[in-house]
Amino acid sequence: MIGLFYILLCWVAGNALARLTGDYVSGNIIGMVLLFVALRMKIVPAERVRPAARFLLGVMALFFVPFGVGLMISYETLLSHFWAIMVAIVASTVVVLLTVGWTFQKLNRKDDARTP
C-alpha cells in the first residue's frame, strides 16, 4: 500500500504546484512528471510502486465511466457542434502524426549516423 501512497503524494503535489502556478499545466501531468523523476532518481523505489501501478492499470477502464456519462448528458451540445468537433479531431490527428513522424525521422538519422 505504500506504492499507492507515493502515487497519491505525487498527484497531490502536482495539483498543488498547478494551483500555485496558475493552472497552466494540469496537476495530473505535473504529478506524473514528479513521480517519473522520483523513480528515475531512485527517491521512490520502483518495487514499492509497481503493485499499486499494476492494480490501477488493471482497473483503468472504470476511470472512464464518469466521462462517458458526461458525454451522454452533453449529447445535444456535441451534436450541435458535430462538424467543428470532427474538423478538430481530424486536424489534431494529422498534426500529431506529422509531428511524431518528423521526430522519429530526426532521431532515427542520429542513430544511423552513430552506427559504424
Q: What is the DSSP string of 17-46?
A: HHHHTTSSS-HHHHHHHHHHHHHHTTSS-H
Q: What is the pLDDT of residues 14-62, one digit of tens each?
A: 999 999 999 889 999 999 999 999 999 999 999 999 999 999 999 988 8
pTM over 0.75: no
Report, as an integer, the average pLDDT of 50-75: 89
* CA–CA gap between residue 83 and residue 8 (Å, rounded): 39
